[in-house]
A = this chain, B = another copy of it.
Amino acid sequence: MIKPEEALKIILDEVRLQPVEKVNLMDSLGYVLAEDVVSDMNIPPFDNSAMDGFAIIASDTVGASKESPCKLKVLGDLKAGDVSDFQVTSGSALKIMTGAPVPQGADSVVKKEDTSLNNEEVLIYCEAKKGDNVRLTGEDVTEGEKVFPCGLDIRPQEIGLLASLGKSELKIFKPPTIAIISTGDELVEINEPLAPGKIRNSNTYSLTAQVISCGAKPVPLEVARDNMDATRKLIEKGLNISDILLTTGGVSMGDYDVVKDVLTGLGAELKFWKVAQKPGMPLAFWRLGDKLIFGLPGNPVSTVVCFEEYVRPAILKMMGKNHIFRPEVDAIFEHDLKKKPGRAFFVRVNVRRKNGEFYVSLTGPQGSGILKSMSLANGIAVIPAETTLVKTGDKVKVHLINLPEDH
């Protein structure tokens, strides 16, 4: 048995960055930029008005006030999207809409609310300063600037700026495909009646949902029955179509745990089997060519927790994400918890935040089959292997699955 941190290191050392893929801008949301984005233009591309009002020469308005407005001749009218040949000279103004190019000669814009228009003359009720309400060429982005580096997470606000730059297509690290095979003669599909001795196949569903939540592409396959032939066929199919293969069950000590034998037969290199942890002790991990294979234990909670702690970081690293781990916080434990030494405990907890401190309470019984306490959890507390007692008030490390809401 190896330690959880050793298992994680072995896994992450095996992970290779995904190949680069060119996608449409909108399809890049949530993925990682696989190129430096250098602007071939200024944003804004021209000096333009930040307001609806009048483009003027600021020095014309010295001393202007509500009582003693300055009067300027209006040369015309310019809306956004149009260009003009107007030349603003001392004593004149051009009516201008937000976003329209500032005309030649003008150095500032007075907003409509500070003016009144009478036929072809405008009264200006305040002093303008040079540059007032003018958005300068390149004030957001300058031509030649590296706007975004390779490796950046693409969020909605990045999408907006990439659109401004005209990046209708861009390169991302291709989201990996994850094949999912649950194993076991006891499994029936979720819409089938339960015969005696049978349970429903829930792991394929929770894993598919976890893969989706990572931004990767799940391919849930059929259930592999507990015989070598059926299991080998499905595993070969899964390996053919995926970057990572996940199996659940069949990696324990049982006579019908055939996953290990099948993978050995296929020539997969076992990187580790068994991790000193609870739940999820029988976790196994192989490489076969450029494919990674996780043998997840079949208990529903072991599956979910091992995905969280081992598979998710691997997938995010493949996708080029900078932050591949859940945020870890120190939290105050609100129970007494005894355990045997030797294995780390991943404990399902509810995390709250109060006065800047995090507090955690158990969400219920912690058996590997008890998914309800996983459903109630927004965090996983990590109790080290050597610890035998955690007391109320002790600090523990917690991996936050969701951000605690009540603070």
Residues of A within 8 A of B (CB): 25-26, 29, 41, 43-46, 50-52, 77, 79-83, 97-101, 111-113, 135, 139-141, 147-148, 155-168, 184-187, 190-191, 194, 196-210, 212-213, 226, 252-257, 298, 300, 303-304, 322-323, 327, 329-330, 356-357, 365, 367-372, 374-375, 377, 400-403, 405, 407
Closest 5 CB pairs of A and B: A160-B206, A81-B185, A81-B186, A156-B209, A163-B202
Q: How far is the CA of A139 from the CA of B147 in the complex (A)?
A: 55
Beta-carbon contact of B139 and A298 below 8 Å: no
For A253, the chain B residues whose CB sits under 8 A away are: 51-52, 111-113
Beta-carbon contact of B157 and A101 below 8 Å: no
For A402, the chain B residues whose CB sits under 8 A away are: 155
- Integer count of this chain's copies in the complex: 2
Nearest residue, chain B, Cβ from A164: B202
For A98, the chain B residues whose CB sits under 8 A away are: 252, 254, 298
Q: How far is the CA of A47 from the CA of B389 in the complex (A)?
A: 30
Return the contact of A101 from the options B135, B196, B368, B374 (Cβ within 8 A): B196
State the Cβ distance, A191 to closest chain B Cβ, in Å: 4
Beta-carbon contact of A304 and B163 below 8 Å: no
Beta-carbon contact of A80 and B186 below 8 Å: yes
State the Cβ distance, A327 to closest chain B Cβ, in Å: 5
Q: How far is the CA of A200 from the CA of B204 in the complex (A)?
A: 44
Given contacts A83-B196, A112-B253, contact A369 B139 (CB under 8 A): yes
Nearest residue, chain B, Cβ from A101: B197
